[in-house]
C-alpha cells in the first residue's frame, strides 16, 4: 500500500502564477484573508503519493514581510526574485530572516526568475544563495525553463525534511499522521454467550 504524505511549501515571489508547465488537478484557491493563492499538487516520490499545498504570494513580492501564518507548518520554501527588478532581490534578506524566525530548519531554495528576458543574466553571480549555502536555480516561469526541476527538487527536499525533522511540532504532526486508532474489541459474542447462560441457582 502506498503511503500518502501531506506537505506545505511556501513560495515567495512570482513563479507559480506565471507558470504554464505545471498542471494542477483543481483551480487555485484565493485565500483572501492573507491575500495568497493556494495551489494543490499531487505527485509520487519513492513510490509514495505526496499531496502538496503550495502557498503562493500571488504578487506580494513587492512587500518586505509576510504574515506569520504563511510560514506555519511549512516543510520547504522557495524564494524567487525577478532578475529585472532589483528591489525583489534586495527583499531576499528580509524574507530569509523572517523565514528563519518561524521555520529555522526547513530547506530553502533561491530562484532567479524571468531569465527569458535576457539570457545573459545567467552569467551573473548572485551571492545571496552562496552566502547562506542555499540551492540556486535560474528559471523562466514564462517559457518553463527549469520550472519542473525546481518544484520536483523542492518536493523531494520537503519530503526528506518531514521524514527526518527533529523539531518538536514536526514530530508531533508526524506521529499524528501515522497514528491509527485501535479497533474496539468485539464483545458481541461474549454478550450473546452471557445472555444465553443462566446463572446458577442457590439451593
d(CA 138, CA 147): 9
37 three-class SS: strand
81 three-class SS: strand
113 three-class SS: strand
Sign for the pseudo-dihedral over CA of 195, 196, 197, 203: positive
Interval 22-70: pLDDT, tens? 444 445 555 444 456 778 888 898 888 888 888 877 555 555 556 677 7
Question: What is the model's pLDDT at position 164?
Answer: 86
Interval 139-169: pLDDT, tens? 998 888 998 999 999 999 999 998 887 775 6
Q: Pick one of 3.40.50.1010, 3.40.50.300, 3.40.640.10, 3.30.465.10 as the CATH number of 4-171.
A: 3.40.50.300
The pLDDT > 70 percentage for the chain reads 62
**pLDDT over 70 at 78, yes or no:** yes
Q: Give Dmax (Cα) for the chain.
A: 105
d(CA 96, CA 55): 16
d(CA 4, CA 10): 20
The pLDDT mean for the chain works out to: 74
Better-scored residue on pLDDT, 28 or 127: 127
Count of CB atoms within 10 A of residue 69's CB?
Answer: 13
Better-scored residue on pLDDT, 170 or 83: 83
Amino acid at each position: 500500500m502506498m503511503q500518502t504524505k501531506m506537505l506545505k511549501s511556501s513560495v515567495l515571489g512570482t513563479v507559480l502564477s506565471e507558470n504554464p508547465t505545471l498542471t494542477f488537478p483543481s483551480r487555485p484557491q484565493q485565500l483572501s484573508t492573507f491575500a495568497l493563492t493556494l495551489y494543490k499538487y499531487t505527485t509520487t516520490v519513492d513510490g509514495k503519493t505526496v499531496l502538496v499545498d503550495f502557498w503562493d504570494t500571488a504578487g506580494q513580492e513587492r512587500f518586505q514581510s509576510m504574515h506569520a501564518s504563511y510560514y506555519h507548518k511549512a516543510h520547504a520554501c522557495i524564494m524567487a526574485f525577478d532578475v529585472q527588478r532589483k528591489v525583489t532581490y534586495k527583499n531576499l534578506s528580509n524574507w530569509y530572516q523572517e523565514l528563519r524566525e518561524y521555520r529555522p530548519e526547513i530547506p530553502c531554495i533561491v530562484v532567479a526568475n524571468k531569465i527569458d528576458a535576457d539570457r545573459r543574466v545567467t552569467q551573473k553571480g548572485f551571492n545571496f544563495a552562496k552566502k547562506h549555502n542555499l540551492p540556486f536555480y535560474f528559471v523562466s516561469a514564462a517559457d518553463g525553463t527549469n520550472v519542473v526541476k525546481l518544484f520536483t527538487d523542492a518536493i523531494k527536499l520537503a519530503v526528506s525534511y518531514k521524514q527526518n525533522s527533529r523539531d518538536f511540532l514536526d514530530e508531533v504532526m508526524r506521529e499524528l499522521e501515522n497514528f491509527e486508532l485501535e479497533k474496539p474489541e468485539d464483545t458481541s459474542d461474549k454478550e450473546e454467550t452471557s445472555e444465553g447462560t443462566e446463572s446458577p441457582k442457590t439451593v
